[in-house]
């Protein structure tokens, strides 16, 4: 069956695609995808029983008119999304980068909602499955889609670009993330630049943060490259930071005047996300008062520099993701945080491959001599390090949680930072 034929069948249901029968609601379209540890074709009968309007599958014989048999369900999902995108008027702003993708996406969504009909990636649906699911939610009234793109190997961003055909793009940062798949920092740069390479080839517009030396080295003013960064005369959008902590404050410097912005989030790393959002908003003529109000109103969630109260302690929960670059940024930020009653709880970093030991050693070295009351290290990656007097080591989260229960910290400011797989948020339950 041709994609156009499948599209005709599903057109009114495209925003109700499910890949998990546990989340399926009557009327949803179920795609029976395969993975390393699951086979969606085994759940076709369950999906039909739950009231799926259609089931797209590979290995299921049925006379049920709702069953659509295809050679490959994943490829069908991707091609369907690609076809749907081509029929929608929305301009797509694609965002990738080692750190800051989701925060920048959420900032842009908040800002763009003041002026346009806009859709954005939900959660972290930013891979070869998540991007098609997001594209299928596009509707005819949308002006923009803010599309997050993740990658853990070379070629992945290029592939996501062929699916989504973005019109604009931003790379938030180039850092040491997913080294297991990229090999080294050059591999990271090569993969993230696949977005800008695609835009260059298809007359799209790329937003370059020239504060990032890696990105600055690729900037070409003669192309459709829009530049932003800290005060330099040749930039399209020029900024001057005023403060990073406990909230962000900055000036945008134009030829005619200066505009003051504030944001509720904090840290130099988030400052880069904020000026990216302001620059893109400026490009699309969003009024400064709308931008500023949105920046002030935005409050992070989902364990991304999330401010919480735990017992009588102030918590900075940054446990959704961690890599060497974000660890360094978090430690630097917390070192500048006001107060003396500061504890830091650090978990492992994932997907570092052969660099894992050396990169965890570098994180440990960053913590030595920092004026934190208590430094708590969790995970076997820190087992062999020689601890100073203000350090504690636990092999797992459960052991640390037990210690915290027995010792009941009070009145502390505690940064909790680690990879998603470390599950550090369970310390606060």
In tens digits, what is the pLDDT along the chain, a chain of 429 residues?
A: 899 999 999 999 999 999 999 999 999 999 999 988 889 999 999 999 999 999 999 988 888 999 999 999 999 999 999 999 999 999 999 999 989 999 999 999 999 999 999 999 998 899 999 999 999 999 999 999 999 999 888 899 999 999 999 999 999 998 777 666 677 878 888 999 999 999 999 999 999 999 999 999 999 988 899 999 997 778 999 999 999 999 999 999 986 788 999 999 999 999 999 999 999 999 999 999 999 999 999 998 888 889 999 999 999 999 988 999 999 999 999 999 998 899 999 999 988 988 899 999 999 999 998 999 999 999 999 999 999 999 999 999 999 999 999 999 999 999 999 998 899 999 998
Looking at the structure, do residues 69 and 98 belong to the same domain, yes or no? no
Phi, psi values for residue 416, rounded to 5°: -115, 115
Residue 165 sits in the same domain as residue 61: no
Which pLDDT tens digit goes with each residue over 208-254? 999 999 999 999 988 899 999 997 778 999 999 999 999 999 999 98
| CA separation for the pair 52, 47 (Å, rounded) | 6
Pairing type for strands 91-96 and 144-148 reads parallel
| Domain match, 271 and 153 both | yes
pLDDT score of 304: 86
pLDDT for position 153:
84
CATH code where residue 317 lies: 3.90.190.20
Domain-located, residue 78: no
Same domain? 52 vs 151: no
User: Which H helix or E strand runs over 57?
Assistant: strand 54-57
Residue reference for tokens 């020239």:
210
Look at residue 340 in the predicted model and tell me its pLDDT.
Answer: 87
Q: 211, exposed or middle or buried, with CB in 10 Å at 0-12, 13-18, 19+?
A: buried
Three-state DSSP state, 422: helix
pLDDT at res. 130:
97
In the prediction, which pLDDT does 254 show? Answer: 80
In a domain, 52, yes or no: yes
Co-location of 235 and 117 in the same domain:
yes
Q: For residue 55, give the CATH number of its domain.
A: 3.40.1390.10
CA-to-CA distance for 166 and 144, rounded, in angstroms? Answer: 10
pLDDT score of 303: 84
What is the tally of structural domains in the chain?
3
State residue 44 phi and psi, 5-degree precision.
-60, -50
Question: Sign of the C-alpha dihedral, residues 93, 107, 352, 209?
Answer: positive
Is 326 contained in some domain? yes
| First-last CA distance in the chain | 50
My answer on whether 127 and 193 are in the same domain is yes
The model's pTM: 0.92
DSSP E strand stretches across 332-412: 342-346, 374-378, 391-394
Same domain? 199 vs 316 = no
pLDDT at 178: 67
Single out the residue in 31, 49, 73 at which a domain terminates. Answer: 73
Predicted confidence at residue 302, as pLDDT, reads 80
Same domain, 359 and 280: no
pLDDT of residue 181: 65
Instruction: State the residue for tokens 């069953």.
Output: 67
Give SS3 for 307.
strand
| Whether residues 312 and 360 fall in one domain | yes
- What confidence score (pLDDT) does residue 184 get? 80
CA 353 – CA 164 distance, rounded (Å): 30
Domain end call among 73, 100, 134:
73
Residue 134 falls within a domain, yes or no? Answer: yes
d(CA 76, CA 83): 10
The reply to whether 100 and 69 lie within a common domain is no
Give me the pLDDT at residue 30, please: 98
How far apart CA 18 and CA 24 sit, in angstroms, is: 6
Q: Based on the domain organization, do 293 and 176 belong to the same domain?
A: yes
- Its domain, for residue 62, covers 3-73
Q: Which of 277, 297, 317 delimits the end of a domain?
A: 297
In-domain check, residue 367: yes
What is the C-alpha to C-alpha distance for residues 177 and 150, in angstroms, rounded to an integer?
A: 11
Q: Is residue 110 part of a domain?
A: yes
Same domain, 376 and 276: no
Q: Is position 83 within any domain?
A: no
How far apart are alpha carbons 407 and 410 in whole angstroms?
9
Question: Is 23 within a domain?
Answer: yes
pLDDT in tens, 86-138: 999 999 999 999 899 999 999 999 999 999 999 999 988 999 999 999 999 99
Report whether 47 contacts 21 (CB < 8 A).
yes
Cα distances from 76 to residues 14, 42, 59, 383, 393, in angstroms, run 13, 18, 14, 46, 48
> Cβ distance 93 to 169 under 8 Å?
yes
- In total, the chain counts a number of residues equal to 429
Q: Name the token pair of 199.
A: 């835009």
Alpha-helical runs (H) found in 165-287:
179-182, 185-201, 213-216, 268-283
Helix intervals (H) in 285-368: 288-297, 324-336, 356-367
């Amino acid at each position: 069956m041709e994609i156009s034929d499948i599209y005709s069948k599903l057109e009114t249901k495209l925003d109700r695609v499910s890949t998990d029968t546990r989340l399926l609601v009557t009327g949803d379209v179920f795609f029976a995808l395969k993975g390393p540890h699951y086979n969606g074709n085994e759940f076709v009968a369950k999906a039909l029983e739950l009231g799926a309007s259609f089931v797209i599958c590979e290995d299921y014989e049925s006379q049920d008119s709702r069953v659509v048999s295809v050679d490959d369900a994943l490829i069908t999902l991707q091609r369907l999304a690609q076809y749907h995108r081509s029929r929608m008027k929305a301009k797509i702003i694609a965002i990738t980068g080692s750190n800051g993708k989701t925060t920048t996406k959420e900032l842009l969504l908040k800002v763009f909602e003041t002026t346009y009909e806009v859709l954005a990636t939900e959660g972290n649906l930013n891979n070869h499955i998540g991007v098609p699911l997001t594209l299928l939610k596009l509707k005819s009234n949308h002006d923009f889609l803010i599309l997050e793109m993740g990658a853990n190997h070379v070629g992945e961003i290029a592939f996501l670009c062929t699916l989504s055909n973005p019109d604009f793009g931003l790379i938030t940062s180039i850092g040491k993330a997913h080294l297991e798949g990229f090999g080294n920092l050059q591999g990271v740069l090569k993969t993230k630049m696949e977005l800008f390479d695609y835009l260059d080839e298809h007359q799209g517009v790329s937003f370059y943060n020239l504060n990032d030396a890696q990105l600055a080295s690729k900037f070409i003013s003669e192309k459709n490259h829009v530049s932003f960064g800290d005060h330099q005369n040749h930039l399209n959008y020029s900024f001057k930071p005023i403060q990073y902590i406990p909230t962000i404050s900055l000036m945008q410097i134009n030829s005619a005047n200066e505009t003051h912005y504030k944001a509720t989030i904090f840290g130099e790393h988030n400052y880069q996300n904020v000026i990216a959002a302001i620059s893109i908003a400026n490009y699309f003529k969003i009024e400064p008062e709308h931008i500023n109000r949105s920046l002030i109103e935005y409050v992070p969630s989902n364990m991304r520099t999330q401010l919480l109260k735990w017992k009588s302690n102030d918590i900075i929960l940054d446990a959704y993701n961690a890599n060497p670059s974000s660890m360094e940024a978090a430690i630097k930020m917390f070192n500048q945080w006001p107060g003396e009653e500061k504890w830091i709880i650090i978990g492992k970093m994932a997907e570092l491959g052969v660099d894992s030991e050396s990169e965890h050693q570098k994180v440990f070295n960053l913590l030595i001599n920092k004026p934190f009351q208590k430094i708590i290290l969790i995970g076997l990656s820190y087992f062999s390090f020689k601890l100073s007097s203000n350090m504690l080591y636990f092999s797992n989260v459960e052991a640390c949680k037990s210690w915290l229960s027995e010792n009941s910290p009070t009145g502390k400011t505690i940064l909790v930072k680690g990879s998603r797989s470390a599950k550090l948020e369970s310390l606060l339950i």
